Structure 1
Amino acid sequence: MLSQLLVLFGFFSLVLVSIYWINRAVRLFDRLVGDGQSAMVFLEFTALTLPNVIRIVLPMAVFAASVYVTNRLSNESELVVMQATGFSPWRLARPVVYYGLIVGVMMTALTHFLVPASLYQMQNREAEIAENVTARLLSEGTFLHPADGVTFFIRQITPDGTLEDVFLSDRRKPDSAQTFTATRAYLLNQNDKVKLVMLDGMSQSFTRDGDRLFTTHFDDFSYDITALIRASEDRVRGIHQASSWDMLLHPERVAATSQEQVGRVIVAVHNRFNQAFLCLAAAMIGFSTLLLGGFSRFGVWRQIVAALVLLVVIKLIEGLSADAVETAPEMWPLVYAPSVAGIAMAVLMLAWAGRSRRARTALPEAAA
């Protein structure tokens, strides 16, 4: 049974990760390619999002595999046979517990190591790309938007670095707009400033005050575009990028660095531990809920719906407990309330299944 659970878990994980990953990749593609990034940058960013995607889908995959395997064993009457040979619900649940613990170890590695490292690396790469003038502006035949209200276009870039047929529109000020066109242009770095030197062009300035348009032809003109390129800033390491060790030992320092409340830091670090227990709870709920129904020609769809409802209840408990701990960090044990509640529900259902089985066994003996 354990091998079946792991095989189906791998299948559902692959399907769910593919769906979520493709969705993230499409949005990344629009953003990165729209900013003039290469395909290698796109592949790098999609790879860095993979650990977090796996973390999101892992509880769903562990629950789906548990429900599928239990449902198949029930339909093929294997559960009935095992119970008839003397296997109690607690004995049947043993491989499910092992399965939940194995997935919990995987989740622990993700939440404490892989996800924070990948998110921090992505943050650094985003900062590097934001500071890269060539990546943001030097793209042929594409209308780029390096800042809100700014449009930049280059028809062609020659091998010697000349920008041909340049168009620059600056509409950042609500009461005025400037448009520059030039036959040729060059990018010049001088005194920590980036300037666009345009040759043989025209400048158009429009002001809403009186709706006046001023046109100026120039032989050469220098335009400071430093403000269009996001300057290097102190890279703030958020709570999702911080290490669990620092968050446990120095929550105040992590909160100050990430500009977050101490309560949110406490919730985030304990939630990393809680995610592993939630995987165990999801596996046990999927199994124990279906075990209550026994064999039926009409299937176990009611038990499946009940299991989904229990998961919704657990998510509600998770949200309420997180809000309480953010307000009062000393109540951090409440972060584990969802997993404790889920495991308690599964234990109660296993006990009920064992009691129902004993009652059904005692009934024929009494009749005899």
Structure 2
Amino acid sequence: MSRFDGYVLRQLLVLFSFFLLVLVGVLWISRSVSLFDKLIGGGQSALVFLEFTTLSLPTLIRTVMPMAAFGAAVYATNRLSRDSEMTVMLATGASPLRLGRPVLYFGLVAALMMGILTTYLRPASIQQLEQRQAEVSRDLTAQLLNEGSFMHPADGVTFYIGKIDSDGTLNDVFLSDRRDPSHPITYTGARAFLVRDGARINLVMIQGMALRYDAGGNTLSTTVFEDFSYDISAMAAGRDELTRNIRGVPTADLISPAGRERILSEERYSSGQIAEELHERLAWIFICIATPLVGYATLMLGGFSRFGLWPQVLGAFGILLVLEALRGLATPMVVERPQMWWLLYLPSVAGLALAAVFLRLAGRPIRLLMRRDKPGA
């Protein structure tokens, strides 16, 4: 690697780190607000919130990494051109293709990072996140220990606590069970306690009343009690274990025939879903090579200007949007027709082809103009 290649590569890596940090930070904050309200409002601790947001980082990083690589290539090329460094190198006889070698190195580094992220880290994080979400959803105690607001731990069930004492005593408890529309029941209690009995959770209410409505006879019966035990673990009945999220399936299972057969038979995913998930993970690797090369090659079409290469920058951004649109169109087609998996690589191939064409045009602008001016050309 020459000194110039190392110089440009260092700039690209620094800019890439900056753009990646900014984009991930913006998305992380926007998603964390709703997640914070949901978890903390549901009685979970701040540690659970931090765990969930940490497990979501691989997905966020994968989403913004191609854009960060594109932004780094565009910004670095524009700055080198504005500072006349690129002009000096072109004047020494270096071609745009030769000057693009550090951009290619940078794309390979980004692709390596994306490969580790999309084939291993992201599936593992999604799998762990799914497990933790299932555990939190089964944690009825944490859901119910939230004073001053009406909660709905299950369909047709409303729960309210007026106040929670420091010793765990629940005051002014209201419980409405409407899961049986013909016999809805409402319980109220001055005090209550949550008592665990193995896997069961009982709500023991003190000095309360039960109201039972019979829709058939249009009658309401009232029962006053000194103490009453209600099994609230039944609220979790009917919550079947969800099928493993295909986004969290290890890449090795998607590749191996035995793993694919097990997914098809046991987890009931289609061949199209398996093909789309596997090739999408691999396609993200190649897009990290194509996006910085497209950004660099597009800017090399412009001549030297003290005002920068903003028309070329806008053009490069437009090409990036087109490539992303192609990827969005290819995904549902592969799900419907697994044999068309190659469509997922089309944005990367198109980007690399455009970069090659643009670099060829940038390397021979004078010759092309002369041909255009020849009589009969």
TM over 0.5, shorter chain: yes
Q: Is the Cα contact below 8 Å between 1:237 and 1:257 reproduced in 2?
A: no
1:11 aligns with: 18
Q: Is the Cα contact below 8 Å between 1:67 and 1:290 reproduced in 2?
A: yes
Q: Kindly tell me: are residues 180 and 358 of structure 1, through their superposed partners in 2, closer, same or farther at Cα, counting changes over 3 Å?
A: same
Q: 1:322 aligns with which of 316, 331, 355?
A: 331
Matches within 5 A, 1:144-223: 144-157=151-164, 161-172=168-179, 177-189=184-196, 193-205=200-212, 214-223=221-230
Q: Kindly tell me: are residues 70 and 292 of structure 1, through their superposed partners in 2, closer, same or farther at Cα, counting changes over 3 Å?
A: same
- Deviation digits for residues 281-305 of structure 1 (CA, Å, limit 9, x no counterpart): 1000110001101223453222122
2:246 match: secondary structure: coil
Q: Is the Cα contact below 8 Å between 1:267 and 1:326 reproduced in 2?
A: yes
Question: Separation in 2 of the partners of 1:240 and 1:357?
Answer: 50
Q: Is the Cα contact below 8 Å between 2:41 and 2:146 reproduced in 1?
A: no
Return 5+ residue gaps in structure 1 as ranges. Answer: 364-368
Bigger CA drift: 168-177 or 9-18? 168-177
Q: 2:300 aligns with which of 273, 291, 296?
A: 291
- Deviation digits for residues 227-260 of structure 1 (CA, Å, limit 9, x no counterpart): 3236674353221101111101132322444432
Q: Is the Cα contact below 8 Å between 1:186 and 1:197 reproduced in 2?
A: yes
Matches within 5 A, 1:36-75: 36-75=43-82
Return 5+ residue gaps in structure 2 as ranges. Answer: 1-7, 373-377
Q: 2:291 aligns with which of 278, 282, 300?
A: 282
1:260 match: secondary structure: coil
Instruction: Report the identity percentage.
Output: 49
Q: 1:271 aligns with which of 280, 292, 297?
A: 280
Confirm whether residue 2 of structure 1 aligns to residue 20 of structure 2: no
Question: Separation in 1 of the partners of 2:121 and 2:18?
Answer: 21
TM-score between the two structures when normalised by the length of structure 2: 0.87
Q: Kindly tell me: are residues 74 and 160 of structure 1, through their superposed partners in 2, closer, same or farther at Cα, counting changes over 3 Å?
A: closer
2:4 aligns with: none
Q: Is the Cα contact below 8 Å between 1:198 and 1:220 reproduced in 2?
A: yes
Question: Separation in 2 of the partners of 1:121 and 1:33?
Answer: 20
Bigger CA drift: 347-356 or 147-156? 147-156
Bigger CA drift: 346-355 or 213-222? 213-222
Confirm whether residue 335 of structure 1 aligns to residue 335 of structure 2: no
- Deviation digits for residues 173-196 of structure 1 (CA, Å, limit 9, x no counterpart): 567754321012233455854332
Question: Separation in 2 of the partners of 1:71 and 1:360?
Answer: 24
**Backbone CA RMSD of aligned residues:** 2.7
Question: Separation in 1 of the partners of 2:335 and 2:260?
Answer: 12
Confirm whether residue 243 of structure 1 aligns to residue 250 of structure 2: yes
Q: Is the Cα contact below 8 Å between 1:143 and 1:153 reproduced in 2?
A: yes
1:25 aligns with: 32
2:364 match: secondary structure: helix
2:138 aligns with: 131
1:27 match: secondary structure: helix
Bigger CA drift: 278-287 or 144-153? 144-153
Q: 2:102 aligns with which of 81, 95, 103?
A: 95
Q: Is the Cα contact below 8 Å between 2:208 and 2:227 reproduced in 1?
A: yes
1:183 match: secondary structure: strand
Question: Separation in 2 of the partners of 1:321 and 1:151?
Answer: 44
Query: Counterpart of 2:133 in structure 1: which amino acid?
Result: E
Bigger CA drift: 306-315 or 177-186? 177-186
Q: Is the Cα contact below 8 Å between 1:200 and 1:219 reproduced in 2?
A: yes
Query: Counterpart of 1:136 in structure 2: which amino acid?
Result: Q
1:186 match: secondary structure: strand
Aligned residues: 363
1:366 aligns with: none
TM-score between the two structures when normalised by the length of structure 1: 0.89
Query: Counterpart of 2:297 in structure 1: which amino acid?
Result: S
